[in-house]
Chain A
Amino acid sequence: MGFEPRIVGFLCNWCSYTGADLAGTARIHYAPNVRVIRVMCSARVDPTFVVKALAEGADGVLICGCHPGDCHYSEGNYKAMRRFPLLGRLLRDYGIEEDRVRLEWVSASEGKRFAEIVDDMTERVRRLGPSRVKTLLEADRVER
């Protein structure tokens, strides 16, 4: 069997999680590789969640929030948006490919968009191959 990426998804409760539910209600099929963890707002996604997921063996991490201007908490997604490049820089410094971590906006009515994002991300991560973060960390631990 080929490589099946394991992707952890952090979805905000109000827009993106509802959008993902809508994909279900509308029976829009998509790749089964994303495992969703619900948070109230994309601003709750602590960069350590992303690092933790990669360290635990995730091949990719997807963060979804409300579209800019639509945040249930008025501006949480802007905070997520500002934090994201910093996290990206950190991951780059550690040699983690950019495509492995992604921030997207999905509204409560965008079930189709959510499905497309999952499919697209799964494909991109599949092309990158398995993440080596967990293996490297374990090797590092053994050496010490």
Chain B
Amino acid sequence: MEDRRIGVYVCNCGTNIAKVVDCDAVSDFAKKLPGVAVARSYKYMCSNPGQEMIIQDIRELSLDRVVVAACSPRMHEPTFRKALQTAGINPYFLEMANIREQCSWVHDDARAATDKALALAHAAVRRVVHHEPLEKRFVDMCPATLVLGGGIAGLTAALELSDAGQPVFLVEKDDHLGGNLARVDLTAPYLDSARDMLADRIRRVLESPKIEVLLRSTLQSLSGFVGNFRAEIRVGADGARTVDVGSVLVATGFREFDARRIEHYGYGRLPNVVTSFELERMLREGRILTRGGRVPKYFAMIHCVGSRNPEYHGYCSRVCCMTALKYGHEIKSALPGAYVYDLYIDMHAFGKGCEDFYRRTAEMKTMFLMYAKGTTPEIVPSGPDDDCEMLIKVHEVLSGEEIEVPADLVVLMVGMEAREDAADVAHLVSISQDKDGWFIESHPKLDPVATTTEGVFIAGTCQAPKGIPGSVAQAEAAAARILGKISRGKIEVDAVFAEVDETRCSGCRMCNELCPYAAIEYDAATKRSRVISAVCKACGCCVAACPSGAIQGRHFTDRQIFSQIEGVLEWASSQG
């Protein structure tokens, strides 16, 4: 053990780490640790020259273990493992110390942060000594994909996959395909018809011999792992299907904010206060009428209903501003004499073609009235002399005046929110939700459609509010990721799993019951338990529970973790 040759690499991350942590002090300290052959501090370890430096050192200095003190291992562990592999040593001979996300970014006291970085680097050096060479496993990749949700994202992904010749099971809860988009008339900013967009895709999906559409269906359970999932699906009232798939794409969409929650808008109580989706239906049917059957003259769109308000949802729902502008166009084309008022907080027109659309809408004499964030326009009955159904009292920010807006139809631009069953879906496919209920991607910028569960992808509005182009792009991205896995035929599975030392196993079978994956079987002949490594997901539950200490969790052995504990503490105590 003592004759290890460890290389320690301290990343400055530009100034991200170096502005708080004294990176040179960390590498100087590491140099003196037993077994450390070289320690360097460098601007960007993850850059090509940074990786080259490690590769060259491994080759020239015959390093057999590497510690990289840098960002979170969740970020670059695969990068550096690959570098080790390139240099010709086992990729698991790497240990990372997280001195960015969990150090320089969260502390401002340079001394305390450097101290912590030293402790973490020390622990990593102590741990890496005990790292064992592990071999990656390869398993067959089932080419079929389970797509959950038949909206624009699910349809798009299903077509991409089937066009590439791969089988798809498309599971839709409703009795028809199309999702939320099927409720929309025209789309902003080019005013093309949602119906046309969907009709073509739905036709192709239904005609495709590679896609099996399961309507009125829900996922009941998902077992297995990437490349080898088994899904139990309930079809209709009492049908059931079991399908084997290699990947899962979750494209379950959103639900609209319930406007009843904001009581003073009177939705559900005032007859002519409607939601954007209700106006959408009127537009599709070509019958825009008040509840009393009158053709409305004054339209008022209230923006940000349920969005950008900490009481409901803090986030922007992204599509409502442009949707409201679209109504201006549709209303004026259907009822040329109508007046359209947009009561907004900020006009978010960030998409391609959207700013132009905003300008054109203004030129069409849609009246834009700004109300302040944190306030709400008030809807009151009109007086006997007014020629409208209601008045909206609003403090208009730009003019600074209290004004009254006439309205026959008030349209509440309801935002998007996570579906009521999002938590169930997340649980079934082992993915996480953020504080608003949206599914969490593997990395917000660099890995937007993968999740923390390998083989499970997300696309569309179940991930966060977005418009059609964003949903389609994510669906295509997810399909490309899945096709990439399929084209390799085999998939690499992490080499980390639990193992039973049969000489120490007492055959008590405690682990058999504990394992959430039933990955431990009992051999009645030898009276010993055995881990089925392909099924084991390496949680380590059995390792902690084994009364005989007979189970070891690869890459998280007691010895490795004990050294880490000693590492963080011995360093601290030596500093007093």
Distance in angstroms between the alpha carbons of A44 and B497 in the assembled complex? 12
Q: Given A29-B107, A49-B561, A43 and B102 touching (CB < 8 A)?
A: no
Is B539's CB within 8 Å of the partner chain A?
A: yes
Which A residues between 76 and 127 are near B, CB-CB below 8 angstroms? 76, 79, 83, 107-110, 115
**Which residue on B lies nearest to A10, using beta carbons?**
B561
Kindly state whether residue B278 has any CB partner on chain A within 8 Å: no
Compute how far the CA of A107 lies from the CA of B440 in the bound complex, rounded to whole angstroms. 11
| B512 → chain A closest CB, angstroms | 14
- Give the chain B neighbours of A83 by CB distance below 8 A: 544
CB–CB B572/A57 < 8 A: yes
With A24-B106, A30-B106, A107-B432 as given contacts, are A46 and B558 in contact (CB-CB < 8 Å)?
Answer: yes
Contact of A44 among B102, B435, B543 (CB under 8 A): B543
Contact assessment for B544 and A36 in the assembled complex, using a CB-CB cutoff below 8 Å: no
Contact B572 A35 (CB under 8 A): yes
Residue contact A18 to B537, C-beta cutoff 8 Å: no
Residue from the list B73, B537, B543 in contact with A46, Cβ < 8 A: B543
Inter-chain contacts of B102 with A (CB < 8 A)? 20-21, 23-24, 36
Residue in A closest to B568 when the chains form the complex, CB atoms:
A35
**B569 and A6 contact, CB distance less than 8 A:** yes
B269 CB-CB contact with A under 8 Å: no
Nearest CB in chain A to that of B426: its residue? A70
Verify A43–B566 contact, CB threshold 8 A: no
Q: Which residues of A contact B113 (CB under 8 A)?
A: 32
Interface contact A18-B74, CB-CB below 8 Å: yes
Report how many A-B pairs have Cβ atoms within 8 Å.
Answer: 152
- CB-defined contacts of B23 to chain A, threshold 8 Å: none
| Neighbouring A residues of B453 by C-beta, 8 Å | 72
- Within A46-80, the residues touching B (CB, 8 Å) are 46-49, 52-53, 56-58, 69-70, 72-76, 79
Residues on the A chain within 8 Å of B72, using CB: 17, 21, 24
Residue of B nearest to A6 (CB): B572
Chain B min CB distance to A82 (Å): 11
Determine whether the beta carbon of B565 is less than 8 Å from that of A37. yes
Given contacts A24-B100, A32-B115, A57-B569, contact A76 B432 (CB under 8 A): no
Known: A18-B74, A49-B561. Is A44-B98 also a contact (CB below 8 A)? no
Please report the C-alpha to C-alpha distance between residue A75 and residue B516 in the assembled complex, in whole angstroms. 7
Check A49–B101 contact: CB distance below 8 A: no
B541 interfacial contact with A, CB 8 Å = yes
CB distance from B327 to the nearest CB of A (A): 34
Contact of B556 among A20, A40, A108 (CB under 8 A): A40
CB <8 Å contact, B106 and A115: yes
In the bound complex, do residue B565 and residue A108 qualify as a contact, i.e. CB atoms below 8 Å apart? no
Contact B562 A52 (CB under 8 A): yes
A27 near B: Cβ within 8 Å?
yes
Q: Knowing A38-B73, A44-B541, A75-B516 touch, does A32 contact B565 (C-beta < 8 A)?
A: no
A14: B residues at CB distance < 8 A: 432, 452
CA distance A14 to B452 in the complex (A): 7
Are A73 and B516 in touch, CB under 8 angstroms?
A: yes
Given the complex, which residues of B lie within 8 Å of A110, measured CB to CB?
435
How far does the Cβ of B230 sit from chain A's closest Cβ, in whole Å? Answer: 15
Q: Please provide the chain B residues from 101 to 136 with a CB less than 8 Å away from any CB of chain A in the complex.
A: 101-103, 105-109, 112-113, 115-116, 119-120, 123
- B569 smallest CB distance to A (angstroms): 4
Shortest distance between the CB of A121 and any CB in chain B (Å): 15
- What residues on A are CB-neighbors of B434 within 8 Å? 108-109
**Judging by beta carbons under 8 Å apart, are B106 and A23 in contact?**
yes
Interface residues of B in 432-451 (CB under 8 A from A): 432-435, 440
Query: B566 to chain A: which residues have CB within 8 Å?
Result: 56
B473 interfacial contact with A, CB 8 Å: no
| Across-interface contacts of B123 in A (CB, < 8 A) | 35, 37
B163 at the interface (CB under 8 A from A): no
Residue pair B106, A44 in contact (C-beta under 8 Å): no
Distance of A16 from chain B, by nearest CB (Å): 11
* Residues on the A chain within 8 Å of B514, using CB: 79
Measured in the bound complex, the distance between the Cα atoms of B545 and A18 in whole Å is 25
B573 within 8 A of A: yes
Give the nearest-CB partner of B538 in chain A: A40
* Residues in B whose Cβ lies below 8 Å from that of A8: 565, 568-569
Least Cβ–Cβ distance between B74 and chain A, in angstroms:
6
Query: Contact between B107 and A73 (Cβ–Cβ < 8 Å)?
Result: no
Known: A43-B539, A72-B452. A25 touches B558 (CB 8 A): no
Chain B residues with CB below 8 A from A75, complex form = 516
CB within 8 Å for A21 and B543 given contacts A29-B107, A32-B113, A49-B561: no
Question: CA–CA, A127 to B98, complex, Å?
Answer: 28
Cα–Cα distance between A48 and B496 once the two chains are bound (Å): 22
Determine the distance from Cα of A20 to Cα of B537 in the docked complex, in whole angstroms. Answer: 23
Query: Out of A21, A27, A109, which one reaches B74, CB within 8 Å?
Result: A21
Q: When the two chains form their complex, are residues A35 and B452 in contact, meaning their CB atoms are under 8 A apart?
A: no
Which of A's residues lie within 8 Å of B, judged by CB?
Answer: 4, 6, 8, 13-15, 17-18, 20-25, 27-30, 32, 35-41, 43-49, 52-53, 56-58, 69-70, 72-76, 79, 83, 107-110, 115
Q: Known pairs A48-B558, A57-B572; list 6 more (Cβ under 8 Å).
A: A6-B572, A20-B102, A23-B106, A53-B569, A69-B427, A74-B516
Binding site for A on B (CB under 8 A): 72-74, 98, 100-103, 105-109, 112-113, 115-116, 119-120, 123, 426-427, 430, 432-435, 440, 452-453, 496, 514, 516-517, 537-541, 543-545, 553, 556, 558, 561-562, 564-566, 568-570, 572-573
In the A-B complex, the 8 residue pairs with the smallest Cβ-Cβ separation, listed nearest first, are A44-B540, A24-B101, A43-B541, A35-B568, A24-B105, A73-B539, A41-B539, A46-B544
- Pull 7 A–B residue pairs with CB atoms less than 8 Å apart, ordered by A: A14-B452, A37-B561, A41-B539, A44-B556, A72-B430, A73-B541, A76-B516
